Chains A and B, each alone.
Chain A
């Protein structure tokens, strides 16, 4: 039996479009609803931007356990996440049925709603049952403006709601004491919620941006071929590239071809250097060394500092040749870079005579702080007579500032 769902109510950055669902979809929904085991009522489409469900889709239920900050900080909630696949068995969306409100003050009306994600865990939209509007305080329905604001709030993965516990949302202070005289005092920024519906915003936001997001990313990742992940890496879309790096690290794809591709991409995209560190750290030693050397030479200061810090921390073995073979112009480094470099030399015991000679040159740096930093480093090194002489001259010239 096929039901045409032409009357869906949807919240989301999407266009209006009719939908057809299979009977088993409704049945699954019935079975997998997190809390309420009742058949859903038909839904009314209201606001949509893009289509994500096609006629010949397949739906795969996944039993998952997730923490929802508004329910419990320690006890996961058992839910069913529905993976929607196309006829090529590729995931095209996810959704989950949840209660609209984790009610904090026992005054809320609870509706069953449907949250949709894209395949990377990005928020897509929310659907409401037929004839149902979300409710604010005093039983008022959401207005169109409220839905628009809700959508903006739910789309913000960095919303202030993320660091808030449910108890924090509503205080009970009236005047100086314990009370609720003037109604709830909301302890989060007003831009983070629809006035009169803070519980709804909080509840839905945490469903969307909670544990489910990573779970479905991993499901998508599992379904992706190596080729697909590489395509994502090459895609020029930051979200897809980050996803590919994450999943390649999880599946430990350290084939020569993949490593080479990662290396090429991160050199072109400075914003990928930091997220690639977990991947690089697990690659082969020769690849790690080579990639780090390339990054040190070609990166901006921020990423070079990142690499130096990583080299300082990594368990990957490094030999003296690592820096000796590096064509790095020390005089172009900032104080912080030199400072970290010297820390590496000490921690990894990588100081050689040729490095000392390069460092000696820094004593002539126009940046006195850098020169002085190098001086104190060299002072504790075994030096040649010539090097000692230069060092001494530096001290003599600057001893008031040492």
Chain B
């Protein structure tokens, strides 16, 4: 990347708005230290308080700290949920300087310890099998398997914190809300932010903004077009949409958890509990299992679901306690006698509010018809799971309409991930350009994560090329897709054709043993077996070797390997710690643990890299450039499987 704004420490251009502070700071770690020092200096800026109002007893000074900072970066990501994290990571790893703004104390969005929704994805298609997401979300889930085998939600928060803060190009700002866009023409010039815990006003200036906040306040204040509510079925030919358009949005949920105390535990409901009328409730509201709460304790709105949030939350808490009261005190569930509540969420998890309008609106027929988009960058496959209008306030209807499962994953186009009218605004997550019915499937977090990786990568390319997202989609979509595939994202029916990958030019690929697949599949561009076609090579026992020969010398400095983690099993954190090979707390036994890579130089094998505790599906080796005619991957150990399975080997000059 040519520009390194982070080190310039200057404010970019003049901004008309009067609240733009004068002090420029940067996103780098070094500069963060500077920020602290600068922040303690006495400021004589005008303000509503007098400069000497605060008498600092410790120093004797009477300062008023400067609470305003400008942060200049390449990409600003708003929202630290699955989509936002993946957007920030992908942008950062592809060279952009990133500020990640999260309005809560923890990362993870709906999956965080504050809410505890499962980070679901394509958990099960019509055939009953999952088709798990790879890429950054896969790396995050694996990271959790290593550091949080106990499935603790508070630890999950910090697994995510660890994952994000170890990236050198990301400046994470927690407890910070992006509350207003500052515009320059139709483009966002800056995001005005407020950090609750430090009373700091941040003005975040970036070339590209990615709104992954769910509610999309930044985009909304930028004037980005958006919709709420349900489309009429005629608009997009959606068979599951209502005949007439209306305002209904799927509800937010309050989850709870209980604990077996080993002795009888009585329960007296608080005054705000709302009596649960089980007799009138649709039988779809299962009360068993009872230990970990009910996703159907939810309330939607047909109007301003964001504006009503605090009211909804209080009512929802009443419903949550009301259901628990019924479970404990109705006499119909003696198995709950020893159970007591030990956690009730105070932050309902949201399913729906704004949906921005992009150059394309993804709809139900696209999904059910598995429309093949030339600009596909992500996929989904959760069922069309439309929660009922009204939620628990509408007891007679089922809590959700599981309209239809998918036979195979559907594609999500890049044109649904940037704003139609704010040219430097991208988005990922539940606020993307789609209909209400499409949202009922794509809202699932791992799907949002794939969108996040796509827009993060897109943003970095925009910065590199000094262009805007629409132009990127029109002129460089192949480059975007190839980068995503290289970074272990999967796009159905879009195999990689990366002509920079030197393994594609290899004369011969062979393996020391083969129990299934073929070593020649390792450069076929597919990173998983798909639609009953094999794209892997699997050894017969371990150790094993794969060797790649070129007839002519090649210069290489990178080797990248995609190993197996079994995408037909789910590994996300679950509240019930379901522990088997589909939903488990263990590290996938297929994952490659120990390996080394070598190059043949002047007839001798020279080690280029070694890894004894690999924890990723995509394993990368960077080394000084060597000229060689062959590389050899020596595969030593997995996390339990007798054979090793690989999907791809790539090599690059730089």
Listed in ascending order, the chain A residues whose CB lies under 8 Å from chain B are 164-165, 167-168, 171-182, 185-190, 309, 335-336, 339, 368-369, 372, 375-376, 379-380, 400-402
Is B54 among interface residues, defined by CB-CB distance under 8 A?
no
Chain A's closest residue to B576 (CB) is A178
Is B239 among interface residues, defined by CB-CB distance under 8 A?
no
- Residues of the A chain whose Cβ atoms lie less than 8 Å from the Cβ of B600: 376
| Known contacts A165-B580, A178-B575, A401-B552, A190 near B120 by CB under 8 Å | no
Bound-complex Cα distance A167 to B507 (A): 46
| Known contacts A185-B128, A369-B508, A401-B553, A177 near B255 by CB under 8 Å | yes
Chain B's closest residue to A189 (CB) is B127
Q: Check B508–A178 contact: CB distance below 8 A.
A: no
Chain A's closest residue to B127 (CB) is A189
Bound-complex Cα distance A336 to B514 (A): 13
Bound-complex Cα distance A97 to B481 (A): 57
Bound-complex Cα distance A185 to B582 (A): 12
Q: What are 15 inter-chain pairs, A to B, with CB distance below 8 A?
A: A165-B581, A167-B580, A171-B124, A172-B576, A174-B295, A175-B387, A176-B295, A178-B293, A181-B400, A187-B124, A187-B582, A188-B129, A189-B127, A309-B512, A335-B508
Is B399 among interface residues, defined by CB-CB distance under 8 A?
yes
Listed in ascending order, the chain B residues whose CB lies under 8 Å from chain A are 117-118, 120, 123-124, 127-130, 253, 255, 284, 286, 289, 292-296, 385, 387, 398-400, 402, 444, 507-508, 510, 512-513, 547, 549, 551-553, 574-576, 578-583, 600, 602-603, 629
* Shortest beta-carbon distance from A61 to chain B in Å: 35
* Shortest beta-carbon distance from B126 to chain A in Å: 8
B interface: dominant SS: loop
Bound-complex Cα distance A380 to B124 (A): 56
Q: Check A379–B508 contact: CB distance below 8 A.
A: no
- Residues of the B chain whose Cβ atoms lie less than 8 Å from the Cβ of A164: 581
- Residues of the A chain whose Cβ atoms lie less than 8 Å from the Cβ of B553: 400-402
Bound-complex Cα distance A177 to B574 (A): 9
| Known contacts A167-B578, A185-B128, A187-B129, A173 near B123 by CB under 8 Å | yes
Q: Check A376–B120 contact: CB distance below 8 A.
A: no
Residue among B127, B128, B398 with the most chain A CB within 10 A? Answer: B128
- Residues of the B chain whose Cβ atoms lie less than 8 Å from the Cβ of A309: 512-513
Chain A's closest residue to B288 (CB) is A180
Q: Check B286–A171 contact: CB distance below 8 A.
A: no
Q: Check A369–B289 contact: CB distance below 8 A.
A: no
Q: Check A175–B552 contact: CB distance below 8 A.
A: no
| Known contacts A168-B582, A335-B508, A177 near B128 by CB under 8 Å | no
* Shortest beta-carbon distance from B627 to chain A in Å: 10
Q: Check B400–A168 contact: CB distance below 8 A.
A: no
* Shortest beta-carbon distance from A159 to chain B in Å: 14
Q: Check B117–A177 contact: CB distance below 8 A.
A: yes
* Shortest beta-carbon distance from B282 to chain A in Å: 10
Q: Check B400–A376 contact: CB distance below 8 A.
A: no
Q: Check B513–A175 contact: CB distance below 8 A.
A: no
| Known contacts A167-B582, A173-B124, A179 near B118 by CB under 8 Å | no
* Shortest beta-carbon distance from A321 to chain B in Å: 27
Q: Check B286–A335 contact: CB distance below 8 A.
A: no
Bound-complex Cα distance A181 to B289 (A): 11
- Residues of the A chain whose Cβ atoms lie less than 8 Å from the Cβ of B130: 187
Q: Check A172–B289 contact: CB distance below 8 A.
A: yes
| Known contacts A168-B582, A187-B582, A339 near B510 by CB under 8 Å | yes
- Residues of the B chain whose Cβ atoms lie less than 8 Å from the Cβ of A181: 284, 286, 296, 398-400, 402
* Shortest beta-carbon distance from A305 to chain B in Å: 9
Chain B's closest residue to A166 (CB) is B580
Q: Check A189–B293 contact: CB distance below 8 A.
A: no
Q: Check A400–B552 contact: CB distance below 8 A.
A: yes
Bound-complex Cα distance A180 to B283 (A): 11
Bound-complex Cα distance A180 to B290 (A): 11
Bound-complex Cα distance A311 to B399 (A): 65
Q: Check B582–A178 contact: CB distance below 8 A.
A: no
* Shortest beta-carbon distance from A102 to chain B in Å: 15
Chain B's closest residue to A160 (CB) is B129
- Residues of the B chain whose Cβ atoms lie less than 8 Å from the Cβ of A165: 580-581
Q: Check B581–A335 contact: CB distance below 8 A.
A: no
* Shortest beta-carbon distance from A123 to chain B in Å: 24
Residue among B286, B576, B600 with the most chain A CB within 10 A? Answer: B286
Closest 4 CB pairs of A and B: A177-B295, A167-B580, A376-B603, A168-B582
- Residues of the B chain whose Cβ atoms lie less than 8 Å from the Cβ of A400: 552-553
Q: Check B629–A180 contact: CB distance below 8 A.
A: no
| Known contacts A168-B580, A175-B385, A177-B293, A401 near B629 by CB under 8 Å | yes
Q: Check B551–A177 contact: CB distance below 8 A.
A: no
Q: Check B399–A175 contact: CB distance below 8 A.
A: yes
Q: Check A185–B549 contact: CB distance below 8 A.
A: no
- Residues of the A chain whose Cβ atoms lie less than 8 Å from the Cβ of B255: 177
- Residues of the A chain whose Cβ atoms lie less than 8 Å from the Cβ of B583: 171
Bound-complex Cα distance A336 to B509 (A): 10
| Known contacts A171-B124, A171-B582, A187-B124, A401 near B551 by CB under 8 Å | yes
* Shortest beta-carbon distance from B392 to chain A in Å: 13
Bound-complex Cα distance A62 to B398 (A): 54
Bound-complex Cα distance A188 to B581 (A): 12
Q: Check A379–B603 contact: CB distance below 8 A.
A: yes
Bound-complex Cα distance A393 to B336 (A): 86
- Residues of the B chain whose Cβ atoms lie less than 8 Å from the Cβ of A187: 124, 128-130, 582
Contacting residue for B128 out of A189, A372, A376, CB 8 A: A189
Q: Check B581–A180 contact: CB distance below 8 A.
A: no
* Shortest beta-carbon distance from B520 to chain A in Å: 12
Chain A's closest residue to B513 (CB) is A309
* Shortest beta-carbon distance from A377 to chain B in Å: 9
